[in-house]
Structure 1
Amino acid sequence: MESLLFRFEQGQRKIAQASQLVGVVSSGNLEVLIGPADLNSGCEISVQTAALGFSSIWQAVMEDFQSRWQLADIRIEINDMGATPAVVSLRLDQAVEAYLEHGK
């Protein structure tokens, strides 16, 4: 397993509500847990992945995700079993959308 941590500063979208879990860890998939955290307008994303040596790809996917959502004071935990970048991006978007919907 490889552990990666990404932090993005100065997010614009603060959402304070209960944590939300999306996805299921199984062959070729991943789960995403998203929730509030006091991060001084930052967003932290931790990744536990079975696919070793892909940190530059993870970095690119996380940067793209944060540029779209601009999250602030949010912590995201990802447990991955080899999902493709497209699946990772889709699951992250689903997690934020579920998180936003849960707060309505």
Structure 2
Amino acid sequence: MQQISLCFSASRRLSGRSLAGVVGSGDMEVLFVADGSDTLNVDIITSVDNSSKRWTALFERLGTFGDLPAGQMTIHDFGATPGVARIRIEQVFEEVADA
């Protein structure tokens, strides 16, 4: 298991929290808790070694499509593909934005 911590500038403020996926079912799990900071802090627990560049690229791409929200995100990826990862991350952002 590898633990990765990333930090990105955030330009959107939301409130609340959201959970998408269930790691015990073989799916990727993402928990997001919004806060009033200026950063998005991401902690990732993954079974895929040497995947820091992949995760960094994914969040940089998400930032080009929209503003990243401030808060704390925890990901248990269970070896998820980048496509599944993006879907789960967008789900938690959307759920908190609509709350």
TM-score by structure 1 length? 0.83
The alignment yields a C-alpha RMSD, in angstroms, of 1.5
Q: CA deviation at 1:71?
A: 2.5
Matched residue, 1:22: 20
Pairing 1:57-96 to 2, within 5 Å after superposition: 57-96=54-93
Gaps of 5+ in 2: none
TM-score by structure 2 length? 0.87
- Amino acid in the other structure paired with 2:74: E
Question: What percentage of aligned pairs have identical amino acids?
Answer: 28
Q: Are the equivalent residues in 1 in contact too, given 2:13–2:36 (CA < 8 A)?
A: no
Equivalent pairs counted in the alignment come to 98
- Amino acid in the other structure paired with 2:6: F
Q: Secondary structure at the match of 2:15?
A: coil
Q: Are the equivalent residues in 2 in contact too, given 1:50–1:80 (CA < 8 A)?
A: yes
Gaps of 5+ in 1: none
